[in-house]
A and B are shown apart, each in its own frame.
Chain A
């Protein structure tokens, strides 16, 4: 049993809705005339985490760090390469699509671009009805009632039922996606950059709505975003990803007040601040995210880390527990 697994055991007094254990998702890279596999993009590379019922777990990290892939594998919208996913203690990692059906209504996803994820040929009524048709035995009248009540819940007028996605603004379309995700009374929703495409005034409306719905329906969120302020606002705990791995995971307050991983520190320092009286010192990282098909040896962050030392090139740091609920993967914190 690894250190992490031991820690996980201790935490099992918590009521976990989702657990990921040593989860991996590798995408093959095909090359040459024979289209043979010449390598792998290690989009998710050995991630273990648990999501507590009723909480919001935020996931941050640069573009390409594997946030969306992690979300999709957890929901089994993608096959994991290795590892396990438990939903309410049941292993769903190897279930067939048919076997997954009873779980589908409990787990939903809201995407960044509601325009791409909403079928433009369906009106709002049809969009919200679709999951109800597949998963429930509600009749036409009941489905209509349900759609109206969902629209009201997300702050849209019931008479917008007969309109099509292109007739709505970005914020309104995101409300439609949320209504659709709520249709089956899910327990767990993955929000993949749900407000990234929205203006701040509209972003605030949608974030407030999501918080209200969480309270009302006791929802659990995995909230993926690259905006650290948004994640701080909405989350209870936050995981920082770097090249397919978790660099640090901690309760929100610990992560933002006392970040431990050099990458988390740099990330937080880089957020432009509106506090004109107290300017934060910036840690400017050199270079870009390395390719996930050929990550640096040892610690994947070492090519940009201001604190990298010899050992960092040789050994990969494992996630270790440094204080209650606070885990970090960096050699600086190993005894």
Chain B
């Protein structure tokens, strides 16, 4: 890749060491990159390793988990090698983060204003007055018309959608180069989801911020991302542009997902369900991790796990059908 990359994740493995010598290979050899100003989606079902990938990038993996292997190059520097102290300079400042449930990330005993100004003072070394002014601007930007009053409110006084917008204001307060949004709208109603995603998109364009958007909603991927990675069993199984993924999906799992999705546009009598269920991270089937559910399974699929290979420029697939 000649173009400059902002984030370059190489061979990332994050394992959890469970009781009875079991190992959960939550993230098992993940490669991807994000360019400045680009929105890249990480999509997959529950337990596929999306959150652990993002928490690994932020170096927020605690015991019994550990980053086993790999590099996380951010602006060319390997975050895996960063000390805790160095990471505090990265988190919230160079990389902002939004979680699914904002209540876990907002501090219930401080006002919204407090939480934004505190971040600004810590990272940007601005005066209290400057921080307050900037905080009010930010709140207005994310759609609080009465921002001065919102500054004085506590998280529990806000609705779910308002909290998520406040989270965005905090996450973008220090002009991060990368925003990681882990299911930012999963807990919200569609009308509020549309508000939030639109604000995120606007902020991204305004500040030329890159976004790593984690979701299990393929509709959200289609509307907001430029490139997408489909995760299954701790690995990327398909990686391409959003257009390609929906017009020319290749991996049997991606196809299965698309067919199982009811949509407003097309009417089907029966949904194409994928049989079985997502395997747990400590008991993947031998060989291809999708082999116990795949309608195209062959003998060799059960023997060894296929590699992620480039089948067309910019389109990578992990499946023997394409080797």
Contacts and interface: CB of A to CB of B under 8 A. Distances in A.
B222 A275 contact: yes
B277 A274 contact: no
A279 B189 CA distance: 20
A30 interface: no
Contacts of B45: 199-202
A226 B217 CA distance: 14
Contacts of B221: 274
Interface in A169-228: 169-172, 199-205, 207-208, 211, 226-228
B243 interface: yes
Contacts of B278: 199, 201
A38 interface: no
Contacts of A288: 159, 161-162, 192
Contacts of A94: none
Contacts of B257: 200-201
B264 A267 contact: no
Interface in A147-173: 169-172
Contacts of A203: 260
B194 interface: yes
A282 B190 CA distance: 11
B270 A211 contact: yes
Nearest to A274: B222
Nearest to B158: A288
Nearest to A278: B265
Interface in B218-236: 218-224
Given A199-B216, A208-B271, A284-B194, A228 B247 contact: no
A285 B270 contact: no
A interface, how many residues as a size bin? Answer: 35 or more
Given A201-B45, A284-B195, A207 B262 contact: yes
B258 interface: yes
A261 to B, nearest CB: 13
A204 B274 contact: yes
B75 interface: no
A274 B263 contact: yes
A100 to B, nearest CB: 33
B242 interface: yes
A275 B189 contact: no
B83 interface: no
Contacts of B194: 269-270, 272, 282, 284-285
A276 B219 contact: no
A272 B216 contact: no
A282 B264 CA distance: 14
Interface in B267-283: 268, 270-275, 277-278
B198 interface: yes
A272 B220 CA distance: 5
B95 to A, nearest CB: 25
A203 B224 CA distance: 24
B231 to A, nearest CB: 12
Given A233-B262, A272-B222, A226 B271 contact: no
Given A202-B277, A230-B262, A271-B264, A276 B242 contact: yes
Contacts of A205: 273-275
A232 interface: yes
A9 B260 CA distance: 40
A227 B272 CA distance: 18
Given A200-B257, A232-B262, A270 B222 contact: no
Contacts of B190: 226, 228, 267, 270-272
Nearest to B185: A272
A62 B273 contact: no
Nearest to B217: A272
B46 interface: yes
B260 A200 contact: yes
B265 A276 contact: no
Interface string B184-201: 000001111111011000
B149 to A, nearest CB: 15
A270 B191 contact: yes
B11 interface: no
A171 B272 CA distance: 16
B258 A274 contact: yes
B261 interface: yes
Interface in B80-95: none
B219 A274 contact: yes
B219 A272 contact: yes
A269 B191 CA distance: 9
B246 interface: yes
Given A228-B190, A274-B219, A285-B191, A201 B262 contact: no
Contacts of B65: none
A86 interface: no
A204 B222 contact: no
B287 interface: no
A268 interface: yes
A272 B223 contact: yes
A273 B222 contact: yes
13 contacts: A63-B189, A199-B46, A201-B256, A201-B277, A208-B270, A269-B194, A270-B194, A272-B190, A272-B194, A273-B264, A274-B263, A284-B194, A289-B159
Interface of A: 62-63, 169-172, 199-205, 207-208, 211, 226-230, 232-233, 256, 266-279, 282, 284-286, 288-289
Closest 5 CB pairs of A and B: A272-B219, A204-B260, A233-B262, A204-B271, A204-B273
